[in-house]
Amino acid sequence: MIPVLSREEIACKVEAVARQISSDYCGRELVLIAVLKGAFVFFADLVRQLEIPVVLDFVRAASYGSQTCTSGNIRLTKTVEIEIRDRDVLVVEDIVDSGLTLACILEYLRTMAPRSLKVCALIDKRERRQREVCVDYACHRVEQGFLVGYGLDYDEKYRALPAIFHLNI
């Protein structure tokens, strides 16, 4: 495995993006919706850095299985439980790669008529982008590679690594 981001670099990037989000939503309550499972580590760290009132919820989408590329068959296996109509919503994702999963989630959330809908991603990776999606807040951008650690997995392995690595497969 090749190191991409150290624990310290991740912490600095999360802190910086949290400052920007707190500034942009100053004086407003924000609904944060994490995409499970990958975003849970990033989500927890981000929430603790925010300086604004937040409400938390989760969605879960399945598309990869034990593969290194999306199957293209996206299905939501957990939907939001709170009301988001006329509220500011920020989707928190671990990595935006093909854009297919995120596009599916955004389409689903738009049907609930939020006031605003934006995206925050730990990693914005454009190498295999198939659907154009806007990543409003990105901690780090990479061009290529299969990344693991800090919540990112390969076949449910490597999520607990404290840093991010490129997995040679």
List 5's β-bridge partners, or say none: 164
What are the DSSP calls for 111-135, one per residue?
TT--SEEEEEEEEEE-TT--S----
Q: How far apart are CA 74 and CA 17, in angstroms?
A: 28
Nearest to 96 by CA among 127, 57, 134, 125: 125
CA angle 140, 89, 135 (to 5 degrees): 25
In a 10 Å sphere around its CB, with 0-12 CB exposed, 13-18 middle and 19+ buried, how is residue 89 labelled? buried
Q: Are 84 and 109 in contact (CB under 8 A)?
A: yes
Cβ–Cβ under 8 Å, residues 45 and 17: no
Exactly one of 94, 97, 124, 153 is catalytic; which is it?
Answer: 97
Told to judge if 97 belongs to the known catalytic residues of this protein, a careful annotator would answer: yes
Q: Annotated catalytic sites, by residue?
A: 97
